[in-house]
Structure 1
Amino acid sequence: MHKRGWASGVGLALAGCAAWALAQAMPTPTAVAPQPVAVAADGIALAGADAGAVSTPSAPDAWGGPRTGREPTLSDRVVDYRIKVRLDAITHTLDGQERLTWRNRSAVPVRAVYLHLYLNAFRNTGSTFFHEKNDLGLSFRSDVPVRKDGWGWIDMTSVRQGGAAVRQTFVQPDGGPATDMTVVRLDLPQAVAPGQSTTLDIDFAAQLPRVIARTGWFGSFHLVGQWFPKIAVLELPGERGATAPRWNAHEFHLDSEFYADFGSYDVTLDVPSDYRVGATGVLQGAPETFHQRTRYRYVQDDVHDFAWTADKRFATPLRGTWTGPGSPKVAVQVLYAPEYVASAGPALKATQDALTYFSRTLGPYPYRSVTVVIPPYNADEAGGMEYPTFFTAEGYAKVPPGSSTAASLDFVSIHEFGHGYFYGILASNEFEEPMLDEGLNEFWDQRMLRDGHRRYDLLPPWLNRLGVHLPATDPFEFERLGAQVDDPSDPTGASSWNRLDTSGYVSVYSRTATLMRDLEAELGRPALERAFKDYYATWKFRHPSIADLRESLAVSTGRRTLIERAFAQQVYAVNKLDDSLADLTSEPVAPLAGRVIEGGKALTRGEEETDALADARTAAWHKAHPDAASEAGPFAWRTTVTVRRRGAAVPQTLVVTFADGSTRRFDWDDALPWKRWSFVDPRRAVSAQLDPQRRHFLDAGKLDDGRRIEGDHAAARRWSADVLALLQALQAALVNL
């Protein structure tokens, strides 16, 4: 998902709400309404609120072992969904029938399963989502209040196993409010034996909210995400730190996203005939039209979610194709509102460029389609969200080439496509380890832009027009601004909900990207890229953990100590980096004062006498060498450099530069709070620089990494000129009022 506005230069706006009154026409549930009760069933535990960064690597055979390409399917398909759903475009309601077939991978009988009912996050303020928003002071994007007619929900009106009714019980595995209804336990009439499958026939009715987090409607536009009853993941021993079978079924938290088993989806969409649709997967055959309604059937194997969109205002889709080594031919289409026609072409090109980059640097894209959706005006909250083979981007009425608007559209399109790898194909647990998707994806997106020599202008266009400019900055310099380098509040690997505040979650993007950028600076680009290719090849379709990422990097690069230290400091713990160059001096080594031996004779000199002697020798030397540089002379130079460490230890390099342009390097890699080097050299030092290759962007203050014997005032002069230009522009504006 796309983070708050600073990341791309443009924020996403929450659109408002409507549809409650019309929703009263929804079918009345025929099943007994589940009652909130404590979790207790089956002897199989649930992951709880303390879940987070996994430290134990998964077993080699986790999730069925690596997918080599020789298997009959891309993934070890655990679930099969066959869904038929009808959209009422006036009331924005769904009427669905779902046949869910689930395979028990464990060695124990399963007597209860857990389903996610994500739309119930928007049912009322008693949900965990709204509890965190309203009671804990967290925020989500624009946070426009929900009006009376803006809620959304889902009810399972019937659940049957082999014709027998299934008992439903709402549970709160994370200890959220008892009124949360986003997780439901189904007590099965017939246990599922090890290795066997069961089928659940589910009827459901849903009310879409007016566009809110990741889903909803506005006008005739519908983004239908997390809309159907979806089974949770049963993790086995050796998978993501599990030591016994456990259900991973977290409540829908304000900042959390999703996690599910791979499987097959066969979905039939029934919509008004004047609506255009797009969806996960590939359209099967020609749509069927009858009585002013049309049915579209989409199928996609080896994915873990399904989303779709419908709007009667969509313009004719912009279509293209992409081909690359090891990938099937990919059909790319952009669905867009007519007011955003200018955004369609750039979004298509950005997607094709991202297909090329991600396939080359990580591994081949395995699917045959990508659908890009540009939501209409006032539905911006639906923008910047990812689903398998399907994502939403941003829309702009004008996209001038080279503008910040163009950069924003480009970045968001690349970012949302990139989720197709980290969220989609690798399929990490976004509940518990968001850094593996949002963070790694952010890193790879910025890496793509950096490799394409893209740069960011940190100032808004109106300041540029007033004559104020800053040099365009590297993508990772820009990313560093959001990395909480001064005061990190949470481990980078913390869960999506267990964070001090919303900024702690937002920092997952930038702090992960900055950490990985720093590791790449230490390891070198070829080693880091090779490690990520190994990570992708080993863990595609297998739900890796943070520990699995750590192991892939350590093994592939051969730099285990470096990798483990970085993860221990920044992923599993909270540590600030703050190294600085505290002092630099370079002075002539004058004759000794006091009792000394010179020319075989003992003599005694006072300090003033010694200073006078040194001055005389220096004057005589320069008289004899009239063309020598001013810093040259009869004496060697004693250079002293002091550095301070006010945070975690990282491998550092110090480079001292001398007057003749030559340099001397020192390495520093200990946990002591300071270090001093003092040495005598014929050359006079003129400057010293800590981290000269700028490997440590997580360092809290890069401006204190260097010192000169004589100050460099170029930056101050530049800022003075820019401030003067701004003042002159403001004065001119006032005169013309």
Structure 2
Amino acid sequence: MRSSFRSGGWLPVLFVLAWPVGALARQTAPTAPAADVPAAAATSTTPYVPIPLAAPDAAAVSTPSGPNAWGGERTGNEPTLSDRVVSYHIDAELDAAKHAVHGKEQLQWRNRSDREVRSIYMHLYLNAFANEGSTFFTEREVLTAHGSSRGNASLKKGQWGWIDLNSVRQADTDLKWSFVHPDHGPATDHTVVRVDLAQPVPPGGELTLDIDFLSQLPRVVERTGWFGDFNLVAQWFPKIGVLELPGERGATEVRWNCHEFHFDSEFYADFGLYDVRLTVPSDYTVGAVGQLDGPPQTADGKTTYHYVQGDVHDFAWVAAKGYRTLDGTYEGPGSPKVAVRVIYPPEYVASATPVLKASIDSLGYFSKTLGAYPYKTLTAVVPPYNAGEAGGMEYPTFFTAEGYKEVEPGTLTQFALDFVTIHEFGHGYFYGILASNEFEEPMLDEGLNEYWDQRMLRERGQDIDLASPLMKWLGIVPQMSGFTVERLTAGLRRPPDPIGENAWDRLSSSSYGSVYSRTATAMHDLEERLGRPVMEKAFREYYKRWRYRHPSAADLRAALIDVSGKPEIVNQVFDQTVYGTAWVDDAVTSIDNEEMLPQAGTEVVDGKRIEVDAEALKKNIAKARADWKKKHPDDASGQGPYRWRSTVTVRRFGAPVPQTLRVTFSGGKHADVNWDGRGRWKRFEFIGDGTVVSAELDPQHTVYLDADKLNDSYATKANGAASRRWAADAAALLQNLYSLLGTL
């Protein structure tokens, strides 16, 4: 999904349900049985137990997948990159005037289980835009009331979108289907359909269905649709759900994973082969997942493009009138020669070259740090003005970026364009090749991708420039790193939901948005504790184990532990953030300095008790101070002839994390001590020739999960530098807001 830079996460900071219904809903003609048992089972003498659907509250998996999950780790010696479960052969034609796609689809699917399959479940994603009673729109109303989000446009007459099944045939038999609601969504949601088979699919057997469908694109609200002569055709064809086996992503039995199309969620599907023919008006520019098989064929003012791509799990395309293209290539170790294309509208010509460069740079970085890019094409699409919600979307080998009329080097606009491009490309790894379940574990895609994007920007040395033109003219150029912005937008204080929670069962859209930034922040802190080389090695291992295999959060945790050898550190971060809602807030609360003066009273000297007279003691102290002053006339530290006992008190208001405390003494020296994270408070005592003038937790600024960094430090004398810096940054942000708004 679109990066958090524009999804309600970064932008505000940078710029100062389910309804209880039955399992079955309204039926389509032809009708299906009332119970969740296919018609084929009615005449069978063998008891049939329907295969269940994944639970509506399915979320972060805590048990690692088995070693043979999804056919076992891919070695690279197999005939195909993935274990192809499904194939789609689609012939589709765009009615440009109506923004409708007429399609004929042949679906071939393999039953990987040891169970007979008598019904299948399919996604009809476009029905999310059919009416305001869909799960998408009903959740949007609730969730956006408690937080901001993209996709707030309303649809008017003639702008709704849907997908109609005209027929579904198995061999020569018309099949029955009915809408179902795996997540107990409203009865008016039609995004999941159960199709009852005429002939069951035996264990290891194959199913072939011939489907005739009509997809009406909506006016762009979010992710897909049309505006003017621009058509982003995504989530547009009937798509089979995933049949998971025991030992895969926490499954303990064979189950279907086929969730409704929620407002804050995306996709999950089997790997396979896509063979797609697209017919469009000849004056339209076309781009799609995969590569062209032969030259386009033109006749009667229409052109047919034949795209083929194996080892992917989705297919999207664009058809737009008057669009231009910009081409480049990438060549790197282990990758085929990659043809890179940017498709863009004339008004955003300034964005084309930056998008191309960021795409090629991303190919190099992700190939180097995770694994070689395996496909021969990469297509980036810049949506037109007024269709921005079609931007920032990802599909295998194909993504949409953003468009700006002016892109000045070194500006916030360029950073935004680069970041979104890198982010959407990065999905090609975390959503595409790893193919994690974005419904149930969005952190494995959105969150991990956000983290890896920021690593790339950090390696580039590309910080966010906060300076206005006036500030630059004055030589004042405040900057902020990407990871700093992530923690500012991560909702670190009392988060309502774990980052491992599913996409829809959340307090608000803002909570979903924090999946991006809080995951990136948690991974940043884990990296600091394990070390950058170890973290990168662990992610390479995670990628190597789970490419083309749908990992879970538990599989990520296992890879991190196996490579680092530090389960206590990895488990603490996962327990606190992935599976829990713990938050961190450590503070320095006081500094107490006490001069260690001689004390009045009695004491035993050489076996005799003597009394130290208080008045005489005062005189001796005064004399000692006067003598010390004469010997050190220029000393302004206030040290004096006696030693000092200083006590620094730290408090813990949240979850424990190891901390470093740096204390600075009046003479300018400092000392570092470790707080191992135990206890709710601790006092550190220092005895020396000077006083403690300041104390700071996390002096190296590595604990980004700390919700309040302002209370990390304490000084005995006020210092206005911090407040002046914050005021300057706030002014820069405000001025940049006005500048950026003027370009939108």
Structure 1 length as normaliser, TM-score? 0.92
Matches of 1:721 and 1:507, distance apart in 2: 26
Matches of 1:501 and 1:155, distance apart in 2: 31
Contact 1:39/1:172, CA 8 A, preserved across alignment: no
Pick one of 172, 176, 187 that aligns with 1:163: 172
**Runs of 5+ unmatched residues, structure 2:** 14-26, 39-48, 735-744
Matches of 1:536 and 1:468, distance apart in 2: 44
Matches of 1:158 and 1:564, distance apart in 2: 50
Deviations 1:79-100 (A, max 9, x none): 0110000100001111100000
Pick one of 284, 292, 297 that aligns with 2:301: 292
Contact 2:30/2:176, CA 8 A, preserved across alignment: no
Matches of 1:607 and 1:651, distance apart in 2: 46
Matches of 1:724 and 1:413, distance apart in 2: 28
Partner of 1:691: 698
Alignment-mate amino acid for residue 472 of structure 1: Q
Matches of 2:732 and 2:139, distance apart in 1: 46
Pick one of 25, 28, 32 that aligns with 2:29: 32
Partner of 2:391: 383
Pick one of 261, 265, 273 that aligns with 1:252: 261
Contact 2:127/2:161, CA 8 A, preserved across alignment: yes
Matches of 2:160 and 2:33, distance apart in 1: 20
Partner of 1:506: 513
Identity of aligned residues (%): 57
Pick one of 619, 640, 643 that aligns with 1:636: 643
Alignment-mate amino acid for residue 509 of structure 1: Y
Q: Following superposition of structure 1 onto structure 2, how do residues 258-407 of structure 1 map, counting pairs within 5 Å?
A: 258-315=267-324, 317-407=325-415
Aligned: 1:123 with 2:130:
yes
Contact 2:644/2:689, CA 8 A, preserved across alignment: yes
Partner of 2:708: 701
Deviation at residue 471 of structure 1 after TM alignment: 2.0
Q: Following superposition of structure 1 onto structure 2, how do residues 1-12 of structure 1 map, counting pairs within 5 Å?
A: 1-2=1-2, 3=4, 4-5=6-7, 9=11
Contact 1:260/1:305, CA 8 A, preserved across alignment: yes
Contact 2:122/2:239, CA 8 A, preserved across alignment: yes
SS in 2 for 1:91: coil
Matches of 1:357 and 1:36, distance apart in 2: 53
SS in 2 for 1:133: helix
Deviations 1:104-159 (A, max 9, x none): 11111111110000000011112111111235555641402111221100011111
Aligned: 1:54 with 2:51:
no
SS in 1 for 2:710: helix
Partner of 1:733: none
SS in 1 for 2:60: coil
Matches of 2:475 and 2:153, distance apart in 1: 34
Matches of 2:475 and 2:12, distance apart in 1: 20
Partner of 2:211: 202
Matches of 2:284 and 2:213, distance apart in 1: 23
Question: CA separation of 1:717/1:134 partners in 2, compared to 1, >3 Å: closer, same or farther?
Answer: closer
Matches of 1:37 and 1:608, distance apart in 2: 100
Partner of 2:534: 527
Q: Following superposition of structure 1 onto structure 2, how do residues 144-163 of structure 1 map, counting pairs within 5 Å?
A: 144-163=153-172
Matches of 1:451 and 1:370, distance apart in 2: 23
Deviation at residue 540 of structure 1 after TM alignment: 0.6
Partner of 2:231: 222
SS in 2 for 1:500: coil
Pick one of 409, 413, 418 that aligns with 1:410: 418
Deviation at residue 201 of structure 1 after TM alignment: 0.6
SS in 1 for 2:98: coil
Structure 2 length as normaliser, TM-score? 0.91
Contact 1:8/1:412, CA 8 A, preserved across alignment: no
Deviation at residue 597 of structure 1 after TM alignment: 4.2
Deviations 1:605-634 (A, max 9, x none): 476765554333222223244465634433
Alignment-mate amino acid for residue 698 of structure 1: L
Matches of 1:282 and 1:724, distance apart in 2: 48
Contact 1:31/1:157, CA 8 A, preserved across alignment: no
Alignment-mate amino acid for residue 699 of structure 2: P
Aligned: 1:433 with 2:430:
no
SS in 2 for 1:114: strand
Aligned: 1:556 with 2:594:
no
Partner of 2:432: 424
Deviation at residue 721 of structure 1 after TM alignment: 7.8
Aligned: 1:646 with 2:653:
yes
Contact 2:10/2:489, CA 8 A, preserved across alignment: no
Question: CA separation of 1:615/1:202 partners in 2, compared to 1, >3 Å: closer, same or farther?
Answer: farther
Deviation at residue 588 of structure 1 after TM alignment: 2.2
Bigger Cα displacement from structure 2, 191-200 vs 339-348: 191-200
Deviation at residue 37 of structure 1 after TM alignment: 6.5
Alignment-mate amino acid for residue 461 of structure 2: H
Contact 2:437/2:550, CA 8 A, preserved across alignment: yes
Deviation at residue 38 of structure 1 after TM alignment: 7.0
Partner of 2:152: 143
Pick one of 459, 465, 486 that aligns with 1:451: 459
Pick one of 99, 110, 122 that aligns with 2:117: 110
Alignment-mate amino acid for residue 432 of structure 2: G
SS in 1 for 2:522: helix
Alignment-mate amino acid for residue 438 of structure 1: E
Contact 2:10/2:485, CA 8 A, preserved across alignment: no
Matches of 1:502 and 1:606, distance apart in 2: 72
Bigger Cα displacement from structure 2, 297-306 vs 206-215: 206-215
Contact 1:169/1:186, CA 8 A, preserved across alignment: yes
SS in 2 for 1:310: strand
Partner of 1:539: 546
Question: CA separation of 1:252/1:282 partners in 2, compared to 1, >3 Å: closer, same or farther?
Answer: same
SS in 1 for 2:489: coil
Partner of 2:741: none
Matches of 1:338 and 1:274, distance apart in 2: 15
Contact 1:140/1:255, CA 8 A, preserved across alignment: no
Matches of 2:183 and 2:616, distance apart in 1: 79
Question: CA separation of 1:185/1:720 partners in 2, compared to 1, >3 Å: closer, same or farther?
Answer: closer
Partner of 1:565: 572
Partner of 1:656: 663
Deviations 1:469-501 (A, max 9, x none): 672011111111110022311111110001001
Bigger Cα displacement from structure 2, 512-521 vs 682-691: 682-691
**Runs of 5+ unmatched residues, structure 1:** 12-29, 728-737
Deviations 1:414-447 (A, max 9, x none): 0000000000000000000000000000111111
Matches of 1:234 and 1:720, distance apart in 2: 55
Aligned: 1:665 with 2:675:
no
Pick one of 91, 111, 117 that aligns with 1:84: 91
Matches of 1:723 and 1:524, distance apart in 2: 33
Bigger Cα displacement from structure 2, 708-717 vs 112-121: 708-717
Contact 1:37/1:178, CA 8 A, preserved across alignment: no
Bigger Cα displacement from structure 2, 702-711 vs 202-211: 702-711
Matches of 2:282 and 2:429, distance apart in 1: 34
Question: CA separation of 1:718/1:474 partners in 2, compared to 1, >3 Å: closer, same or farther?
Answer: closer
Matches of 2:623 and 2:339, distance apart in 1: 83
- Once superposed, what is the RMSD of the aligned Cα atoms? 2.5
Contact 2:639/2:666, CA 8 A, preserved across alignment: no
Contact 2:151/2:221, CA 8 A, preserved across alignment: no
Question: CA separation of 1:603/1:170 partners in 2, compared to 1, >3 Å: closer, same or farther?
Answer: same
Contact 2:588/2:697, CA 8 A, preserved across alignment: yes
Question: CA separation of 1:125/1:142 partners in 2, compared to 1, >3 Å: closer, same or farther?
Answer: closer
Aligned: 1:134 with 2:141:
yes
Partner of 1:584: 591
Deviation at residue 257 of structure 1 after TM alignment: 0.3
Matches of 1:592 and 1:516, distance apart in 2: 53
Contact 2:8/2:513, CA 8 A, preserved across alignment: no
Alignment-mate amino acid for residue 677 of structure 2: D
Deviation at residue 462 of structure 1 after TM alignment: 7.7
Deviation at residue 362 of structure 1 after TM alignment: 0.9
Deviation at residue 403 of structure 1 after TM alignment: 1.5
